[in-house]
Structure 1
Amino acid sequence: MASTSGRTFHDPLVGPEVSDLPSGFFDRLMFNLHPADALAPSVIMGFGIYPAKDTADGFVVVSGESEQRNLRFSTLLSATNRDGAGPFRFEVVKPNELWRLHLGPNEIDAEFDLTWHARTPAWFGEVAVTNTSSERTSFDHLFQSGRYEGTLRVGDRRYDVDNWYGQRDRSRGVRTMSGGQGLHIWYQAQFPDFSIGFLLVETRAQERILLEGAVMHESGVLDPITDVRHALVFTPDLDLVEGDVAVETAAGERYVVHADGRARGGYMAGAGYGGHHGVSAGVDHIESDRYALDGSVSPRSLDSALTDRLCTFTLGDVRGSGIFEFASTRSSKYRYRPSL
């Protein structure tokens, strides 16, 4: 992984003028949205294009206290303006600084009209990983903390979104990280003055495949992360209960953060992460479902273990919140062992 923080990330999605892209090429965006002081609602949205497959698809996942609502949509890329699909639309108003996000009427009875403003600099770099398959992973990856304003409706409940937290993630390239993964963490802990963001992937033998990220400060300081250790507690169904993460940075700082993951929801199988992204379903395909958050679904029972859990974070006397994305392999040969 090579950091490219000295340059500006090309924020808009690639246009039709870009040709000769690899067959596995994608260009994707993801945003999350949540109050700074509450564990509901949690909204996660995403959209991606796959030019060689003439496919575009996306999702919206809304997790409340008792239910997760999932909306998935896809269409032909050639039938879009590359600004969304189904009821979801976005606009890059000012690259790396301001986006608009809109969700119209749909099957899960949730709508929003939002503006995301950057509150920290973005971390981005090139991720390059050699896989067990013949195709090499190589993609640009960005994450950045921001705040929202606008409106959100979920069923009969309407929210005035004022200064809510939200992390965004942009990735572009070819990603085929196949075989042998044990633990995946995408960690975005939001605190009043900074955000701790990293991606960590380990093998089933707990060897590190990938670590990238930074502590992103509202002051404009971007402090790259050099090491991460963890001590997490999972249920037998591979759901996160709580845990500590220790982060070390290039500036010599060390952050030991406790996460409480007992709030349910954020199961990304509902967003199509079980291998459904980039699979053509024709023009204007929309589907939806709902998960009762009563223990009847879990990372073990769904077609993907990937979970984006809205957690509370504690760093000394400072409290924060944010998304702790995790996935532990369901292989019977793997047992999680803490590294902290």
Structure 2
Amino acid sequence: MTDGDDARTRLAVDASAEHFPLTGLDEYLIHNHPTPVAVMWTPDLQAYERVWFTCHDRVGELLVVCGVAFYPNLATAEAFAIVNLRGRHITVRAHRPLGPDRTTLAVGPIAFEVVAPFREWRLTLGENDQGVRFDLSWFDTKRPIFRNLGAGAIVGSRPFSGVAGYDGFGHQDGWVEVDGERFEVTPTSHLGTRDHHWGTRDGVGGPALYQGFTHPVPSVFVEFPDWSVWVDHLLRNLGDPKRGSGLLQDRRYRLRFEPETDQLTGGEFDLVHKDGSVRTMTFERLGNQIAFLRCGMYGGPNGGTPDGDIWQGMKVGDGRSLVVGGESYDVNDPGTRVRVGGLDQFHARFECDGEVSFGMVESYSSLTHAMAAAGRGGLSVLR
């Protein structure tokens, strides 16, 4: 195949700005709403679309979390990459105007590329002032299934349009570099999670109005060879002859916390299946391998980013040009963990029915401890 042949296999999406709000994508038969692709189905300023990935090892040394998001009604795009190396928590953030091109999933040095839909992505972090880079190929292992969550609900006195999307698990191949020290990533040494969601979300464009909806009940993301748990969703392997996925009936958590930070250290939880059967899974946090998502602009009761109070969808700088920033924290220090804590993802070792794997537990630390201490939401403290 020649370069010209290869180019013809790709979508032709460039179009002159004279056609705005029509874009090159509008030439394709892809519409599911009577507006151009660039025009959202809702005028809600909190409309968003985001992809998110994690990559972690099996020993508790290296953790990567990254994502990119578009906010069409705010005309902004942003991306973040968090690398935690043995408790050194490094973040790179980038912001730019959205523009008409929705196919370029890059913001400054942080880029995402669909190589093969529902099979392979490429995630890259280029040169930046924080001294961290990566080039990772992502390979799906579990089957993503579409779900529509919360449509028709009322939050406070405001109708909630809902969030739709899909989740998945995968393995990675490539490398991560911190201050010139390179770490090889292979499908046998590393694994992770991903999701792609769109809809409306509280906390977009500024402080959240309904801060109780910031994950006080833990979310577990863990993959075993033949099954997996994504919060309440049981995903199956790619190619599994059984269609679709499974869903848990209930979850009950008994949790341990650090006394100096009130952040999770481990615990156990019951997976209650629809047939009434129960499986109990235990987990233990690996050191201080935590992704503090406030650094990725996931705001909540503790605020936006720890330094600067940036929330998702906010314009940074003049709003008309690329802005790249970030910072580094030593999260081996308990005081630092308290200061930057909020919506946090804890790298953990899991065990269930004799099987061992490694994954993530997500919770809003201060709220989770308070709920467990009060015995609310199916949470309790494990003594």
User: TM-score category by the smaller chain?
Assistant: 0.7 to 0.9
Name the residue aligned to 2:220: 187
Residues 235 and 93 from structure 1, CA distance in 2 versus in 1: closer, same or farther, beyond 3 angstroms?
Answer: same
Mapped to 1, the partners of 2:334 and 2:343 lie a distance apart of 16
Mapped to 2, the partners of 1:331 and 1:188 lie a distance apart of 17
2:89 counterpart (49, 64, 68): 68
Within the alignment, does 1:146 sit opposite 2:170 as a pair? Answer: yes
Name the residue aligned to 1:214: 234
Write 1 or 2 for the structure with the bigger share of helix. 2
Residues 144 and 171 from structure 1, CA distance in 2 versus in 1: closer, same or farther, beyond 3 angstroms?
Answer: same
CA contact (8 A) 1:65 1:293 kept: no
CA contact (8 A) 1:150 1:160 kept: yes
Mapped to 2, the partners of 1:267 and 1:186 lie a distance apart of 15
The structure with the largest alpha-carbon Rg is 2
The 5 Å alignment of 1:138-287 reads 138-163=162-187, 164-176=190-202, 178-181=210-213, 183-198=216-231, 212-217=232-237, 220=240, 221=242, 222-236=245-259, 237-250=261-274, 254-264=278-288, 265-274=290-299, 275=304, 276-281=311-316, 282=319, 283-287=321-325
Question: CA shift at 1:79, angstroms?
Answer: 7.8
Residues 159 and 299 from structure 1, CA distance in 2 versus in 1: closer, same or farther, beyond 3 angstroms?
Answer: closer
Write 1 or 2 for the structure with the bigger share of strand. 1
> Cα deviations across residues 175-197 of structure 1 (Å, max 9, x unaligned)?
23824347132211122333211
Mapped to 2, the partners of 1:155 and 1:227 lie a distance apart of 44
Name the residue aligned to 2:332: 294
Name the residue aligned to 2:79: 58
* Structure 1 unaligned regions, length at least 5: 1-9, 199-211
Name the residue aligned to 1:106: 128
Instruction: Give the secondary structure class of the aligned counterpart of 1:301.
Output: helix
The 5 Å alignment of 1:87-106 reads 87-106=109-128
Mapped to 1, the partners of 2:166 and 2:336 lie a distance apart of 28
Within the alignment, does 1:310 sit opposite 2:335 as a pair? Answer: no
TM (norm. structure 1) is 0.83
> Cα deviations across residues 237-286 of structure 1 (Å, max 9, x unaligned)?
23101110111234665331111025212111221212411001122111
The 5 Å alignment of 1:117-132 reads 117-128=139-150, 129-132=153-156
Mapped to 1, the partners of 2:100 and 2:337 lie a distance apart of 34
Question: CA shift at 1:329, angstroms?
Answer: 4.4
> Cα deviations across residues 123-152 of structure 1 (Å, max 9, x unaligned)?
331111421152414010321011111222
Query: Which runs of 4 or more aligned residues in structure 1 lie more than 6 Å from their structure 2 counterparts after TM superposition?
Result: none
Amino acid paired to 2:210: S
TM (norm. structure 2) is 0.74
Question: CA shift at 1:58, angstroms?
Answer: 1.2
Residues 154 and 336 from structure 1, CA distance in 2 versus in 1: closer, same or farther, beyond 3 angstroms?
Answer: farther
Mapped to 2, the partners of 1:185 and 1:137 lie a distance apart of 23
Mapped to 2, the partners of 1:99 and 1:92 lie a distance apart of 5
RMSD between superposed Cα atoms in Å:
2.6
CA contact (8 A) 1:112 1:152 kept: yes
CA contact (8 A) 1:238 1:299 kept: no
CA contact (8 A) 1:41 1:63 kept: yes
User: How many residue pairs are counted as aligned between the two chains?
Assistant: 312
Amino acid paired to 1:323: M
Identity score, percent = 21
Residues 299 and 153 from structure 1, CA distance in 2 versus in 1: closer, same or farther, beyond 3 angstroms?
Answer: closer
Question: CA shift at 1:289, angstroms?
Answer: 0.8
Mapped to 1, the partners of 2:368 and 2:171 lie a distance apart of 38
> Cα deviations across residues 71-114 of structure 1 (Å, max 9, x unaligned)?
11111111865311010111112222211111111122121111
Q: Which moved more, 1:76-85 or 1:159-168?
A: 76-85
Question: CA shift at 1:332, angstroms?
Answer: 10
Amino acid paired to 1:280: K
